[in-house]
Structure 1
């Protein structure tokens, strides 16, 4: 029986190979090697969205944070935070230190001053013990704050108007 199988293999011709078609290369004049340019604003926005650092809920860190990205704190951090992006303090998290950020969202606890921010949001579960200097301040019902708040002022105007506040009723 094995002879028949061997004979069948010897007698039948091998199938012809399939023809291979080569693609014609595009003419050099038609090739466009111009780099795609992404506008700086769009590129910067995309980079900011991608770079967020997280301090997890089970971590306690002491030090200093500086940079251009976003920071999300879910654990405990002791030290100053100076970022050009956003800072988010999650519910149950605690930050002890000064803050400089573009946007600050507080759902946990911040014990320290917000020295410079375009926008601050104090959520219902948030606790802030310290002073705030911001472009705008949103305070949710149920949140707690102990300190002074300066918001809505442009640049140095807030510090120059601070000295002109009344200290009490006139005698």
Structure 2
């Protein structure tokens, strides 16, 4: 069977290669379809399932893109390029190595391998990889910081919403307020 045949069985021009055989076309015969042999004993065992939330879709900002705006939604977001604006998602946010996000973040889980210039609010879990650069405040249920990452900002983690809003009497925040009042 020829892969490419000249249109209308016209002879090929000298300057164009001919992929079809020069023999006249064979009488039309019904081709037998190929049959794949899937023997279950020869199939590789299934890999262990990765526990990921498959109900939500992931949106990607590719490495060669620069976008300015606002992201809101219920799915996951992965930023590999540059984004300027706030990200407010009910899913997870991942900032890839080499990527930069300038703006505020509200997400269920935040993983930073690139650069974030903005605050992270109300995340259940924040993870800073060894290449992460975070300039901003963090309010999260838990925080994991890898050696080599850089943080500049205020961190509150392990507090629930009611404790985070209430002023602390014995903490640094209360002392700083008292110092400002004494200085004025």
Same fold (TM over 0.5): yes
The alignment yields a C-alpha RMSD, in angstroms, of 1.6
Which residue does the alignment assign to 1:58?
A: 64
The alpha carbon displacement at 1:144 in A equals 0.1
2: CA distance, partners of 1:53 / 1:162? 39
Which residue does the alignment assign to 1:96?
A: 102
The alpha carbon displacement at 1:127 in A equals 0.5
1:139 to 142, 145, 154: 145
2: CA distance, partners of 1:46 / 1:87? 15
- Count matched residues: 123
Q: In structure 2, list runs of 5 or more residues that go unmatched.
A: 1-52, 180-184
2: CA distance, partners of 1:158 / 1:96? 24
Matched, 1:76 2:82: yes
Name the structure where helix makes up a greater proportion of residues: 1
1:155 to 153, 161, 170: 161
Q: In structure 1, list runs of 5 or more residues that go unmatched.
A: 1-44
The alpha carbon displacement at 1:163 in A equals 6.0
What is the TM-score when the length of structure 1 is the normalising length?
A: 0.68
Q: Which moved more, 1:146-155 or 1:159-168?
A: 159-168
2: CA distance, partners of 1:162 / 1:114? 21
The alpha carbon displacement at 1:161 in A equals 3.9
Distance 1:71-1:158 versus aligned 2 partners, 3 A rule: same
2: CA distance, partners of 1:161 / 1:100? 22
The alpha carbon displacement at 1:61 in A equals 0.1
The alpha carbon displacement at 1:46 in A equals 3.0
2: CA distance, partners of 1:125 / 1:161? 34
